[in-house]
Structure 1
């Protein structure tokens, strides 16, 4: 109405549009704030076109945005000029120290993030301790999916007990669907991350992995650790396979681990501790094996297992040895 009646009083406009004076005054205030109405020197209001109002209202904001973009571009350019220095320093660090100690969880995460960004071929991981913390799984999932999307081969090895932890199983299902290879095994020496088979990250304290880590690049040590991983990997079974073999079938996975330790004279408590599963689970598996073998004691179970071809002298010798965390 101000376009056609610019000099009308508020009361006159209110009568024209059928509103009260307060409603008209509030509307004029809003339109003024948007720059659509301006006071006329001769009194009354002047209606401004939306295009002109938008130009007047948004021009300062557009100038600020432009200045910020210019500042961002300048900062990005300055940071990019440091890339050469960073790569040179990184190569010097690797050359001068084949084993580097990193302290503090934030520094460890920063190093792992850097290794993830520069990874080109593979990531092999030993993950002891059974089910993993939900927070750790949530943090690892997007990183692993991004690596797999880049074509990086991921092999992860968990302990058997992790297969009974819902969040860990869900994580394994997600990364397996994206192409990761995941197995489980009874025992393993320590947590380990092998990047591109030329760098290994190890915790200094297996019981407190957040305290400090060793970054190993020494060729001889690296070769040995890669062999340790391959040995554990060959001993593992597919993580998502069923827990137990069908009746009468040769035991695999955790059942075979229990059988090996059982006939070697290990107690149920010792087996449970080494495999990271409950004593009740061990007792149940031992009872099932004894029934399937028709054995009255563990010695008979061992003899019967050899007769069936479930065990051999070579197989008996492969009972998991105590790792560095079992001192």
Structure 2
């Protein structure tokens, strides 16, 4: 016979230790038992057994016979407990709605600018992932993201698939996804593959040489920032509407303008001296990406990229990559909206 102490227990379903002991006894008894027999065999006062039987019957975990004295039998536990879990889930959903109502009252009577209401810290990898997934699923209009290593869960395909599923569902809801990838992100073939999958789903993606931080913005109402860039799983800061959130939004927009689109070139005004691949190399080079990163982003070899870089520098008469980026900008080959040479 197992005891409640050896199992996780049913306290989460609102059953106290006495009710659980009575229920376990009836499960193992196999036949109907009177309240007196239960009290004697379990060793609990009859009055407490009576209260427990009423509770168990109310929760549809046991049935009472019409005989006198009545006998009690356990319903099939898996079916009965699953039903109770579902009912408790509905109750918790109502609690969440009530929490939102109370939050509105808190803001109304406690002051909308209360610091405790504007910032929240979540600690630990599990909590970070849970909140990140919640933001992906809750977005209604747009998600703006800075992506750079290290990652909370590097290379776990199941977690990546979950993110892609959330992104796919978001795009179907009409959510506009924008992601700026740090050049170090495309150095990793796995991350580059994920980026390409996201673009195929409808994400608008851009590249830049170096990002200052990781960031997620949801509907311009919530910001999600790691507490430590080098260890994003340690914890994150949730930022609600405030001057700080305004700064994060402005930061994203300023970097988005300077970043290079990952899609194909569509500007017919590019210089005739450069073919389309060389033009892409010029844009990525001017954004600060190194040859290896450019090669991965374009799906070509580093040697091919180096040939393009040499050809670009020769065409422009530049001695360094930095000078080539400046000269390309002066000639209008690279516009400020495309990238930023500095």
Q: TM-score, normalised by structure 2?
A: 0.57
**Aligned-partner SS, 1:189:** coil
Deviation at 1:299, TM superposition (A): 9.3
How many Å separate the matches in 2 of 1:150 and 1:122? 10
Which residue number corresponds to residue 111 of structure 1?
A: 131
Deviation at 1:70, TM superposition (A): 3.8
Deviation at 1:213, TM superposition (A): 1.0
CA deviations 1:10-29 (Å, max 9, x no partner) are xxxxxxxxxxxxxxxxxxxx
Correspondences of 1:1-327 after superposition (within 5 Å): 67-68=80-81, 70-88=83-101, 92=106, 96-129=116-149, 133-135=154-156, 137-241=160-264, 248=274, 255-256=282-283, 258-259=285-286, 272=290, 286-295=309-318, 305=328, 308-310=331-333, 318-320=340-342
Deviation at 1:224, TM superposition (A): 1.7
How many Å separate the matches in 2 of 1:66 and 1:305? 71
Deviation at 1:215, TM superposition (A): 0.9
Instruction: Report if aligned partners of 1:162, 1:169 keep a CA contact under 8 Å in 2.
Output: yes
**Aligned-partner SS, 1:142:** helix
Which residue number corresponds to residue 60 of structure 2?
A: none
Deviation at 1:148, TM superposition (A): 2.0
| Structure 2 unaligned residues grouped into runs of 5+ | 1-72, 266-270, 297-301
**Cα distance, 1:84–1:174 mapped onto 2, change above 3 Å:** same
Instruction: Report if aligned partners of 2:141, 2:175 keep a CA contact under 8 Å in 1.
Output: yes
**Aligned-partner SS, 2:232:** coil
Instruction: Report if aligned partners of 1:130, 1:159 keep a CA contact under 8 Å in 2.
Output: no
Q: TM-score, normalised by structure 1?
A: 0.59
**Aligned-partner SS, 2:233:** coil
**Cα distance, 1:306–1:167 mapped onto 2, change above 3 Å:** closer
How many Å separate the matches in 2 of 1:298 and 1:117? 42
CA deviations 1:218-273 (Å, max 9, x no partner) are 4212122111111211222222438xx98525965663464587xxxxxxxxx759
How many Å separate the matches in 2 of 1:220 and 1:99? 12
Q: Which has the larger radius of gyration?
A: 1
Instruction: Report if aligned partners of 1:129, 1:276 keep a CA contact under 8 Å in 2.
Output: no
| Structure 1 unaligned residues grouped into runs of 5+ | 1-59, 262-270, 321-327
Which residue number corresponds to residue 15 of structure 1?
A: none
